[in-house]
Structure 1
């Protein structure tokens, strides 16, 4: 049963936009922290959004492919201000972190070969593995618990990710269908589908010396990634690795780990790492196309089914499907930690940094992840010259 909405919201669209701009600027901690901030600020403190509306948004964000926090923000914009609210809020939430990763990308491109830059990412890359491992653990304990069926899906998804070194869409969909059939088998045929639409990126400026073919490839790949990746922002990591490093060879293993590290040290949605990757591949417009390709599908997957999800989102079959998809997504994140760790952890110092990161996050649960990353960067500056890297 959903909570009735008041005829007039107690806040303006501009108040919500300002809030999302602020959250996108200082909101560290990844998707779990970001959705927690939204609940605390918008439901408990400001009372702009009701408990029922927030839960509806969370359920839809978990069901649909795309980054969890961004989709929840878009839905909350839709609640009282419909498509305009969803659009403006989505842009406000993503824009600050996008500008940050573009700036970091420019510095990285210009100075990436300098020893201090390599040293920083030497430490940060190892810490990121620890952060991903702890994120996977938290998601596992929260969402899977002691459920044997979900554990089987988790382990199978993790194994597939490790063996194939990529994320396979059908594992996610198959997991959702399996749990649906086991727990809430359908009694009649019903349902609907939402087609992903990849909107083109329009150039507003005169642009010279651009590889339009590569921009098209970037847009197509990231639109595909944004359309078929479920779970938190970290769920996109194994999917991106398979396409960016192994299939297209746009980045090296080292550059990819650095890209994930950049997402960890910037506020806002973790999936903004796609903007950094796009910048490394094809400059500013590569970043624009990659970010747009990632977020436009998740935007459409939120606003198109929103009005219908309120009526059908609590059905047992849909809840079961969400559980299966979530278990598979967490398994992929765990597998990604192993795959990426094989490349980031190259010696004893990096192994020690990864283990220390896990230990600190385990022991001191309130330590912000950006603090851990900054300390790891300082450790890299000290350790990198001592490890005989050239």
Structure 2
């Protein structure tokens, strides 16, 4: 949802401005999608910028208008929009096989990296330098999430109505413990009818705009190119049956064989439900995941959720890959008859499966109909309202993380419908506070990049651990 200038870190190949691009086979596309996957750092904004640079400017596989239209469609879907955008463009170029290649490769580096870090965390997470590393990461993550609130808010909150929706969503989730899916649904309904009525307050404030300028082509997939697959009821039924089975049959087998109380069944059900309601990008849904995984299921501690987000921030792939870390720890700590590391590995892979299988379902089902969304005021209004609500949800995430990073203890407070955690002031960690403030100053005052901020905070955390201060 957050906009970003195009990344300058991607080397640009020389391309004749108006030379007609040659047809690309799926084998020729493979190394390009692998390159995009390897460069997919920096959250959705950075990932989308990398794709724009390579697909639109360098390779000229898809026109500017088609790229932005595909992106707008993906922002309407639950799930990680950058991964879905890769899947969509791959589908446009080479059908289902192309979508699987592009979307699958986009996830693969993150799967491997997060799994390796999860093993290290489980074995050494509370020992010496590793604990210091994650202590520092938490401070940097706070600054990054705060930056996301402002970045998205500036683009999304273009009217007082949308500001009010953002404020209401924050109050609902932080003070009243309203479920995230209900907040998204309510905002979407309000925006849908506001947009349908033509109210200017529900006009979207802009999506992930890019700074690249369209020079008019030609492109391999120009504005008038038709997709290989046309919308039809038969196609929709085939997609639903095939991808529905790929996604849900393993979940059903786990429920039948292990029972609903088993940790693998809980992981499969929870993250399957999450896959259907994860509108608004990774930062927004992490508030919901943290709320459920920490408070409801007790799979991990608040600080460990921050550790997982730090892992996802520093590895390629979608930020939602942090859910693999959550699934890993859930199964690692309730392994049953399995060795803990084996159980954790299976739990992490199961989480990734039920998180990303629906993404291929949404694209395969909806992409043939995407041109019908062009210029639809009601859907644009729904997206604008959901985006506004997401700003409030991300603010909740920032406050939640701050409370559990800077204070060692919080206590629940209840008064009528209000349910909120309040910090125990005596438990304040001064080093965590100073490091968080330093990260905020670096990000907002000196415009230090995400990777450098994460590296500096991690090094500082390890230094503090070596000196025995934390």
Which band: TM-score by shorter chain? Answer: 0.7 to 0.9
| Post-superposition offset of 1:84 | 1.6
Alignment of 1:1-390 (within 5 A): 10-144=23-157, 146-164=158-176, 167-185=179-197, 197=244, 198-201=247-250, 213-282=262-331, 283-346=344-407, 347-365=429-447, 367-384=448-465, 388-389=469-470
Q: Distance in 2 between matches of 1:59 and 1:28?
A: 21
Conserved in 2, the CA contact under 8 Å of 1:161 and 1:336?
no
Kindly report the root-mean-square deviation, in angstroms, between the aligned alpha carbons of the 2 structures. Answer: 2.6
**Higher deviation after alignment, 60-69 or 21-30:** 21-30
Q: How many residues align?
A: 369
Report the equivalent of 1:206: none
* Alignment partner, residue 225 of structure 2: none
SS of equivalent to 2:117: helix
What is the alpha-carbon distance in structure 2 between the residues aligned to residue 242 and residue 256 of structure 1? 10
Distance of 2:306 and 2:173 partners within structure 1: 17
What displacement does 1:361 show? 1.8
State the Cα distance separating 1:200 from its structure 2 match: 4.1
Q: Distance in 1 between matches of 2:176 and 2:141?
A: 21
Shift of 1:222: 0.9
Contact between 1:161 and 1:238, CA under 8 Å: does it hold in 2?
Answer: no
* Residue 113 (structure 1) shift: 2.1
Q: Judge conservation of contact 1:62–1:326 (CA < 8 Å) in 2.
A: no
Deviation sequence 1:283-302 (CA, Å, 0-9, x none):
11111110111111222122
Cα deviation, residue 20, structure 1: 2.6
Tell me: CA distance 1:168–1:43, structure 2 relative to 1, closer, same or farther (3 Å): same
CA contact (8 A) 1:165 1:242 kept: no
Taking structure 1 as reference, are residues 249 and 164 closer, same or farther at Cα in structure 2, changes over 3 Å only?
Answer: farther
Structure with a larger share of its residues in helix? 1
CA distance in 2, matches of 1:75, 1:184: 27
Secondary structure at 2:375 match in 1: coil
Residues 364 and 38 of structure 1, relative CA distance in 2, 3 Å threshold: farther
Which entry has the higher C-alpha Rg, 1 or 2? 2
Structure 1 residue 338 displacement after superposition: 0.3
So what's the TM-score if we normalise by structure 1? 0.88
The structure, 1 or 2, with the larger RCO (C-alpha pairs under 8 Å, 6+ apart) is 1
Deviations 1:162-209 (A, max 9, x none): 2256752121121121122123239xxxxx99989433449xxxxxx9
Q: Could you tell me how far apart the structure 2 residues matched to 1:32 and 1:123 are?
A: 24
SS at match of 2:78: coil
TM-score by length of 2: 0.73
Q: Structure 2: how far apart are the matches of 1:218 and 1:106? A: 18
Deviation at 1:11, TM superposition (A): 2.2
Gaps of 5+ in 1: 1-7, 187-191, 203-208
**Which segments of 5 or more consecutive residues in structure 2 lack a partner in the other structure?**
1-20, 199-232, 252-257, 332-343, 408-428
Deviation of the 1:362 alpha carbon = 2.0
